Structure 1
Amino acid sequence: MFTDRSGLIVWISDSKAASKHLDRYGSVHFISKRLHYAAMYVHTSKLDETMKQLQKLPFVKKVERSYRNEIKTEYSSNMPDKTRFYTL
């Protein structure tokens, strides 16, 4: 049901053109007018192809891949719990 998506950060020079044209390539999550970037999600299977297409657009300065889905989010605590030493 859910497709694998990867995040992209697209550095732009024109936010108005970005808001019109970036929807064709994936799901636009956020466009910052002040910092001139757009955060968007694309299908993982078409990631490299989409990055090349986005780089060819005239208002795009740089395209960066987000590594958020590759970061480990399950943590293990090997340290003993010290809260009992700090009770009153």
Structure 2
Amino acid sequence: MIRTERQAIIVWFQHMKNIKQLKRYGHLISVSRKMRYAVIYVDQENIEEKVVKIERLPFVSKVDVSYKPFIRTTYESKNKQKTKEYEYEMGI
């Protein structure tokens, strides 16, 4: 099984009744009723085409693309771990 690279698209809309139309453009993950946005996952190869098509819809206010795949997620310690200078031996 080949794993495809995916990226999120955040779609800001005007009315909740149009959510069903967004499902055909990708995998709908979540919808916020209060803030009126939806998160859709799409293959990275097709993301530009999908964004253009979604922006053309009359009920869409704004479309944002997630930058999560391009952010480095491996972190290094700012302070290197110091080796112990003294060895403590406990004797009873």
* TM-score bracket relative to the smaller structure: 0.7 to 0.9
Q: Which runs of 5+ in 2 are unaligned?
A: 85-92
TM-score norm. by structure 1 comes to 0.85
Structure 2 residue 21 is the aligned partner of structure 1 residue 21: yes
TM-score norm. by structure 2 comes to 0.82
Bigger-Rg structure (1/2)? 2
Amino acid at match of 1:57: L
* Contact 1:27-1:42 at 8 Å conserved across structures: yes
- Report how many residues are paired: 82
- Equivalent pairs: percent with the same residue? 37
- In the TM superposition, 1:16-55 aligns within 5 A as 16-18=17-19, 20-55=20-55
Q: Which runs of 5+ in 1 are unaligned?
A: none
Aligned residue in 1 for 2:6: 5
| Structure with greater helix share of residues | 1
Aligned residue in 1 for 2:79: 79
Amino acid at match of 1:66: S
Residues in 2 aligned to 1:80 and 1:42: alpha-carbon distance in whole angstroms: 39
* Contact 1:32-1:38 at 8 Å conserved across structures: yes
Superposed CA RMSD: 1.6
